[in-house]
Chain A
Amino acid sequence: MGEDRTIMSKLMQSSLALVALVAGIATAAAAQSNSGSITATAVVQQPINVVGAVNMSFGNVFPGVNKTITLTTAGAGRFDVTGQATSPVNLAFTSVPTNLVLAPSTNLPVSFIAGYNTTNAAASATSFPVASGAATNLSGTGALFVFLGGTVTPAVNQAAGTYTGTVTLQVTY
């Protein structure tokens, strides 16, 4: 009887071991994983640089006499723009005074005109409205020139002195 139980016990042990083996295999196969990679790429273009290259100057102005500076006249202003070659850009004047000011608060009415060119040639510049700006492209070397002219309208009793104002051009891709 004891021998029988020993035999049965061994059989049970072997069976349990087999079940454990099956369970072990099943557990090992419960999950598998794999990985793959891709790249993320970007090409950053040259930053835009805007330089106020030439200040605009109306020179001497007499009371009651309007004075106009065209884009090609001496005294016209100029901004030099550099950036990524041939890239499209937007031109916007973010600060355009309606008066030049004699400190502390004497005004001289002023209005502006503007034009752009991919070369430093105001005569062949493309005019655009100062108020709404323009969209164009940088040159093959990444250059653009923006020219500024305007008209001052002094009153007959305009106070003598030096009037100034600031025009700001913003260029964005």
Chain B
Amino acid sequence: MGSLTGSALAGVDSDLCRRVRWWSRAPLLGGLALLTALSPLSAQRAIRVTSVRSLVFGTVFPGVRRTVLRSDPLNSGQLDIRATRNAQVQLIFTLPAVLNGPAGATMPVSFGGNDGGFSATRSVASQVGFDPRVPYVARLNNNSSRASVFLGGSANPIAAQRAGSYTGTVTLTVVYFP
């Protein structure tokens, strides 16, 4: 189809022919561009967020604030991220204001400006602190497709806090910018 079009134009207008020949290659060039554009996509790893460890305040006494540091290897919350190496990611926490307990009782919880931690090496001992109440942008390492996010916080039981087990849900949404 392409060669037929070419012969029909031969000898008519050399400049026009040259332009037409260029444009006749355009679909091919476009195809190459498409492949080029798709190529990085095929190499990108689908982003994955995995729950590793709950944020555990443990035993709490009425009227006594209990704080868990993000560097606490046993009680801090942890989620792992898997994405493309060196990817830039945005971390968005959805944090509860209260934990829910027995018979509809609630217990206030709070998160401070340094209660979030990002570790490109997935080490609880090597984190960069951030405010989990607002979105935070981090970058994965060049040599690893994994990273960890840690979370600390405080449980603030009132003096008349009803005894029992309390739970809440913390959600981390990771937005990935290839």
Which residues does A use to contact B, with CB under 8 Å?
1, 4, 7-8, 11-12, 14-15, 18-19, 21-22, 25-26, 29-48, 84, 87, 172-173
Contacts and interface: CB of A to CB of B under 8 A. Distances in A.
Contact of B165 (A8, A14, A43): A43
18 contacts: A1-B12, A4-B13, A11-B23, A12-B26, A18-B31, A18-B34, A29-B178, A30-B178, A31-B175, A35-B173, A35-B174, A37-B169, A40-B96, A40-B153, A40-B167, A41-B54, A44-B62, A45-B60
B178 A37 contact: no
Interface in B94-120: 96, 99, 101, 107, 109
Given A43-B164, A45-B163, A36 B157 contact: no
User: Interface size class for chain B?
Assistant: 35 or more
Contact of B170 (A29, A30, A38, A46): A38
Interface stretch (B43-51, B123-131, B139-147): B43-51
B7 interface: no
A25 B26 contact: no
A77 B20 CA distance: 109
Contacts of A37: 51, 169-172
B47 A33 contact: yes
Contacts, number: 182
B59 A43 contact: yes
B58 interface: yes
A30 B40 CA distance: 11
Contacts of A18: 26-27, 30-31, 33-34
Contacts of B134: none
Contacts of A40: 54-57, 77, 96, 99, 109, 153, 167-170
B117 to A, nearest CB: 14
Given A44-B101, A46-B163, A34 B59 contact: no
Contacts of A33: 47, 173-176
B166 interface: yes
B51 A11 contact: no
